[in-house]
Amino acid sequence: MAWLCLAANADDNLLETITVTASRTAVQVGETGSSVSIISKEQIQRRNATNLADLLREVPGMAVSQQGSLGAITQVRVRGAEANQVLVLIDGIEANDLSQGSEFNFTHLMANQIERIEVVRGPQSAIWGSDALAAVINVITRSDDLSGTALSGYAEAGSFKTGRTGFAVKHGSHRNNVKFSLDHLDTDGTNIARSGTENDGYRNTTANLGGSYNPTDNLLLSYLLRNTESTTEYDDIDFFTSRLPVDADFSTESSQTYAGLSLVYKPGDLTHTLSFSRTDTENITSTTSPHDDESRGVNDQLRYQANLVLEGHIITGMLEYERADFEQRGAASFFGNPNKNLDADTKSIALEYRYDGDHLDLSFSGRHDRNSEFDDSGAWRATAAWHLTNDATSLHASIGESVKNPTFTERFGFFDTFIGNPDLQPEESFSWEIGVRQSLMNKRMVLTAAWFDADLDNEINGFAFDVSSGAFTANNVDGQSNRRGIELGLNFTATERLSVATSYTYLDATQADIAGREVTEIRRPNHTASVSANYTFDRANLNIAVMYTGDQEDDFFPPFPPYQERVNLPGFTLVNIAGAYHLNERVDLTLKLENTLDKNYEQVFGFSSPGFSARGGVRVSW
C-alpha cells in the first residue's frame, strides 16, 4: 500500500510546495507573484518519458518544436518567446549552449534520473540574467533526503530498435549525500524526410555525479559533475529543387559537460554562498565535406550571494562574474572564413527584497550588467501575491523589464547557409502578468489562471534571407513583437487512486514583417491543451496523456522567388499511455505507448515526426 499512498499524495498541496527558482531564496509556490509549475519525481516516473521535452509538453505556456525524430534539435518556446530567451538550469548551473545560439537542446537531457522540474514563467532576468527573459526551467537531478544506501536500474527495448539502460546509486547520511548515475540510449530512429527510406538514429550516454557534504551544522558544500556524449544522424537539404530534407548520411557529435561547486555558510540570520560553475559544450558536424564543422562554447560563472533573513523580510545581494568563450572551425569559402575565437565577459550586481506577510507577499529585484561587448544594461522585476482571508484564494502579479544580448552564433556564426551579423543590437522586453490561484475541496483541487502580455523591441530574426549573398543571416526587426495570452490549469486529486491534470494556453504572438505588416510569429500555435489522468491499482499504475497542438505557421525558403513564404503546420493530437506493474517490492514492469493513434504530423515544416511506438522494460531497486 506504500506505493498507493505515494501516488495519492504526489499532487497534493501544490501551493505549499517549495520552489528554489522563483526567487534567490526558497519560497512556497503560493507565495510567489510569478506563474510556477512543478513536476515531481512521482509524476516523472508515472509518465515514463524519454527526455525533458516530453515532460514539458503538458506545462501551460509551452510550445515544443522537434525537428524530426528522437535526437533532433528540439526547441521549447514559453509564452511565445524565442527558445534562446528561456534559461535552463541543471541543479542551478546555467546549461544553455553558447555554441548553438545560447539555446538548450531539450532532446539530450534524459528523463530517467530527473528528481524534479521547476518552471517559472514571466520575466526572470533581474535575478537570473540575460537568458531568462521569458522563463526559467530548473532541472534537479540530486536528492538530499536519503538515509542509507539505495541502488536502482532499468532496461527497456522497443520500436525503431530502441534500447535504454541505466543505473543509479545513492548514499545518504547525517552529513553526506551523494548520487551517481549512468544512462544510455540507442535507437535506429525514423526517417525525418518526407521521402526516402534511410532512418536517422541517435545515441546518448550520460554520466552524473552530484552530492553535498555538511562538515558542520552551519556549513554546506555541494558539487555536481555531469557529462553527456551524443550522436545524432540527420538528413541533407535539397537546396536546388525542393529545399526539403532528403536522405543523407550526416551526423552531429555533441558533448555537454556541466561542473559546479558551491559553499554555503550560515552563522545566523545572514547566509553567505560562494559558487563556481562551468558549462562546456562542443558540436562536430560531419557531412560530405572533407572538413567537419566544429563549434565550442565555454561559460564560466563565479558568484557570491548574501541573504539576510529577518522577521517577515528577506534581503538578498549578489555579485557575479561571467566569462564566455566561443570557438568555431570550418572550411573557408567565398562567403568568408568561419574560423574564429571570441570571448566576452559580464560583471553583474543584483539585489532582491522580499516581504512575507500574513496575507500579502511582495518582492522587488533589480540587476545591472556591464558587458564587454555591449552598453551597460539593467533589468528589474516586481511581484505580489495577495491571499484572501479564507487562504484558499490568492491573486498574483508580476511586471518587469529585461535585455537579451545577441548570441555569438547570431553575430559570428558561419554555416553552409548562414552568415552572422556582428552589428546586431540587444533585444529589450517589457512584460507583465496577473493571475489567480484557487484551492478547493480541502486543497485536493487547485485551479490556476493567468493573463500575460510581453512587448519585445529589436527582436532578432535569425532566418532573414539575404538575396545578394544567397544565404541566411540575422537582423534586428523594425517595430515591436507582441506576445499575449491566457493560461489555465487544473490539478485534481479525485480519490486516493485517481488524479487528473489539465492545462490550456491561448497565445497571440505577432511581429512586423519587412513590409511593416503584422504577422503571426512562426512555430507559435494559438491553442495548446493537455489532459492527463493517473489511476493507481493495488499493484499497478496507469497514466494516460492527451496533448493537443493547434495550427501554427512556419517559414519555408524555396529555391526560387520569392525565396521565402509562409506555410501552415496543421494541428495534431498525441495520445501517450504509460503503465507499470508492481511485481514485488523491488521490481516493476513498465510499458509505454507513444503517439498511440499513429498520427502523421510535423512540428517543423518538412521534417516528419515518428509514428506509433511502443517499448517495454523493467525497473529494479534495492
pLDDT tens-digit map of 340-366: 899 999 999 999 999 999 899 999 999
Residue 412: per-residue pLDDT: 87
Query: pLDDT > 90: what percent of the chain?
Result: 74
Q: Higher model confidence: residue 348 or residue 11? A: 348
Tell me how far CA of residue 6 lies from CA of 16, 28, 617, in angstroms: 17, 21, 22
Domain count across the chain: 1
Q: Higher model confidence: residue 136 or residue 557? A: 136
Residue 3: per-residue pLDDT: 45
Residue 59: per-residue pLDDT: 96
Residue 30: phi and psi, rounded to 5, are -70, -10
pLDDT tens figures, 280-338: 999 999 887 766 789 999 999 999 999 999 999 999 999 999 999 999 988 877 667 78
Which cell numbers hold the place of 399? Answer: 511586471
Residue 113: per-residue pLDDT: 84
Residue 25: per-residue pLDDT: 87
Which cell numbers hold the place of 311? Answer: 522577521
Residue 240: per-residue pLDDT: 85
Residue 330: per-residue pLDDT: 84
Beta bridge partners of 406: none
Is the confidence at residue 4, as pLDDT, over 60? no
* DSSP SS3 for 44: helix
C-alpha span between 274 and 554 (Å, rounded): 44
Residue 5: per-residue pLDDT: 43
C-alpha span between 390 and 395 (Å, rounded): 13
Residue 110 gets which letter from DSSP?
B
CATH number of the CATH domain containing 526: 2.40.170.20
Mean pLDDT of 10-20: 64
Residue 445: per-residue pLDDT: 95
Residue 14: per-residue pLDDT: 60
C-alpha neighbours within 13 Å on the C-beta side of residue 562: 6
Mean pLDDT of 549-557: 94
C-alpha span between 86 and 106 (Å, rounded): 12
pLDDT tens figures, 240-296: 888 899 999 899 999 999 999 999 999 989 999 999 999 999 999 988 776 678 999
Residue 119 gets which letter from DSSP?
E
C-alpha span between 594 and 355 (Å, rounded): 45
Q: What pLDDT band is residue 144 in, cutting at 50, 70 and 90? A: low
| Domain residue limits at 22 | 2-621
Q: What pLDDT band is residue 11 in, cutting at 50, 70 and 90? A: very low
pLDDT tens figures, 181-221: 999 999 999 999 998 899 999 999 999 999 999 999 999 99
Is the confidence at residue 572, as pLDDT, over 50? yes
Query: From the centroid of its chain, how far is CA 593?
Result: 23
Mean pLDDT of 461-469: 77
Residue 286: per-residue pLDDT: 86
Residue 9: per-residue pLDDT: 43
Taking a C-beta distance cutoff of 8 angstroms, is the pair 210, 202 a contact?
no
Q: What pLDDT band is residue 26 in, cutting at 50, 70 and 90? A: confident
Residue 16: per-residue pLDDT: 67
pLDDT tens figures, 30-63: 899 999 999 999 999 999 999 999 999 999 999 9
Residue 557: per-residue pLDDT: 85
Triad 207, 208, 212: Cα angle to 5°? 160
C-alpha span between 17 and 540 (Å, rounded): 27
Residue 131 gets which letter from DSSP?
G
C-alpha span between 353 and 619 (Å, rounded): 45
Residue 335 gets which letter from DSSP?
T
pLDDT tens figures, 370-397: 999 988 999 999 999 999 877 789 999 9
User: Checking DSSP bridges between strand 587-594 and strand 427-440, what pairing results, if any?
Assistant: unpaired
Helix H or strand E encompassing 125:
helix 125-128
Is the confidence at residue 70, as pLDDT, over 90? yes
DSSP per residue over 137-172, as a string?
A: EEEE---S---EEEEEEEEEEEGGGEEEEEEEEEEE
303 closest CA partner among 261, 274, 279: 274
Residue 291: per-residue pLDDT: 66
Query: pLDDT > 70: what percent of the chain?
Result: 95
Task: Output the average pLDDT for the chain.
Answer: 91
Mean pLDDT is lowest, of 102-106, 264-268, 408-412, 515-519, for 515-519
Is the confidence at residue 479, as pLDDT, over 60? yes
Q: What pLDDT band is residue 6 in, cutting at 50, 70 and 90? A: very low
Residue 465: per-residue pLDDT: 74
Is the confidence at residue 605, as pLDDT, over 50? yes
Is the confidence at residue 158, as pLDDT, over 80? yes
Tell me how far CA of residue 569 lies from CA of 270, 272, 475, 559, 600, in angstroms: 54, 51, 25, 20, 12
pTM of the model: 0.94
481 closest CA partner among 509, 514, 502: 509
Beta bridge partners of 232: 202, 252
Residue 591: per-residue pLDDT: 98
Q: Higher model confidence: residue 620 or residue 174? A: 620
Taking a C-beta distance cutoff of 8 angstroms, is the pair 506, 528 a contact?
no
